[in-house]
Amino acid sequence: MRVLVTGGAGFIGSHLTDYLVSEKHEVVILDNFTRGHREYLAKSLSDVTVIDGDIRDRDALSQVMKGIDVVFHLAAQSNVVGAVKDIEYSFSTNVVGTFEVLRAARNAGVRRLVFSSSREVYGEAVKLPVGEKAPLNAKNAYGASKIAGELYCPIFRSEAFEVNVLRFANVYGPRDRGRVIPIFLDNAAAGTPFKIFGGGQLIDFVWIETVVATLCRAAFGPVLPGPVNVGSGKGTSLQKLAEEVIRITGTSSRIEIAPARSYETERFVADIAEGERLLSFTPPDDPLFGLSRMLTASIKA
C-alpha cells in the first residue's frame, strides 16, 4: 500500500517507517523536524519519500495525501513538559493539525487513518487498571489536546473513511529522548542524580516494537469499535526503574526525590484486555526487558 506517516522522522514514526519499508509498503513521510531527525531514518531513507512540511499547512497536506491508502497520524507535540511550556504550539499542532489531517485524508479518499492518542487523556485514574470506558479527565495541556483530537475522529469517520484510535501508555525504545527512560540513561552515563518528582509514580511502560506491531494491526486489520489502550498492563514505579538502570549501568548516580509536578499524572496502568482481544497484541512479561537494548543504543550514539 501507499502509506503516509505524519511525524515519520520522530521516535515512534521512524521505527514504524522501518517496519513498513521492510514489509514493502510505499512510504511517504511528512515531518516539520521539530522533534524528528533525519538520522532516525538512516535505515530506510533511500526507500521513502520525505517531505519537510507541517500538518497545519492545508496546501501541503492536500498535495501529500494524493494517492495515499492509509495514514498513520503521529505528528504532535508529544511531550507533556513541552506542551505545558508552549501550550499554544501544543494546541495548534495537536488540535488544529489533527483536524487538518483528518479533513485532508477524507477529502483525498484515504481508506483508513490511525490516530495516535495517549494515556494522558484519562488524567489521574480513580482505579487501576484503566479501561477504555474510564472518564476522560486530562491533567495537562497535552492530554487535553489528545482528547480534542479524539473527538474530531468520529466527526470525519464514514463508511468510506475509517478511523481507528490507539491510546498509548509510556512508549520507550531507541531514538526516544526527553522522557524518563532516556533521561535516566543520560544521568547514568554522566553520573548525575536521578530526579524523581513526587516519588509515588507508577508507570505503564510499553516497548516500541509492541507499539509498531499494534499500529500496523490497527491500520491493516479490523475497524475498531472505539479507542483502544496500548500498554503492558503492568505498573512500574519510578523508584524501581531508577534502581534497574543503576544496576545495569553500574553508575554511581544516586536517586533524589523532588517535589511533585502538578501537571504530571502520577499513577497509570492500562487495562489491555480490549487490545488483546481486538488487535491480538501480547506485551512481554517484563515491561522493562528492553532497557539493555536502550543502553546499547545510547552507547553507540
Q: How many CB atoms lie within 10 A of CB 276?
A: 14
For residues 166 and 218, is the Cβ–Cβ distance under 8 A? yes
pTM for the structure as a whole: 0.96
Secondary structure percentages of the chain, helix, strand, coil, to 5: 40, 20, 40
Q: Is 103 in contact with 86 (CB distance < 8 Å)?
A: no
CA distance 249 to 118: 30
Please provide the size of the chain in residues: 301
CB 275 within 8 A of CB 233: no
Strand pairing class (205-207; 255-258): unpaired
Are the C-beta atoms of residues 283 and 172 closer than 8 Å to each other? Answer: no
> Distance (Å, rounded) from C-alpha 152 to C-alpha 136?
15
Domains of the chain (ranges, CATH numbers): 2-172+205-231+269-284 (3.40.50.720)
User: Considering only CA atoms, which of 247, 150, 166, 143 is closest in space to residue 214?
Assistant: 166
d(CA 301, CA 295): 10
Burial of residue 83 (number of CB atoms within 10 Å: 0-12, 13-18, 19+): buried
**In sequence order, which residues have a C-beta less than 8 Å from that of residue 120 and are 6 or more positions away?**
80, 138, 139, 140, 142, 143, 146, 265
CA distance 18 to 106: 26
Residue 196: its H or E element:
strand 194-197
Q: What's the CA gap between 160 and 63, in Å, rounded?
A: 20
Catalytic hit among 122, 142, 172, 263: 142
C-alpha cell of 213? 506491531
142 assigned to active site: yes
H-helix segments, the chain: 11-22, 58-64, 80-85, 87-91, 97-108, 141-156, 180-190, 208-220, 238-249, 273-279, 291-300
- Give me the tens of pLDDT residue by residue for the chain, a chain 301 residues long: 999 999 999 999 999 999 999 999 999 999 999 989 999 999 999 999 999 999 999 999 999 999 999 999 999 998 898 888 999 999 999 999 999 999 999 999 999 999 999 999 999 988 999 999 999 999 999 999 999 999 999 999 999 999 999 999 999 999 999 999 999 999 999 999 999 999 999 999 999 999 999 999 999 999 999 999 999 999 999 999 999 999 999 999 999 999 999 999 999 999 999 999 999 988 889 999 999 888 876 544 4
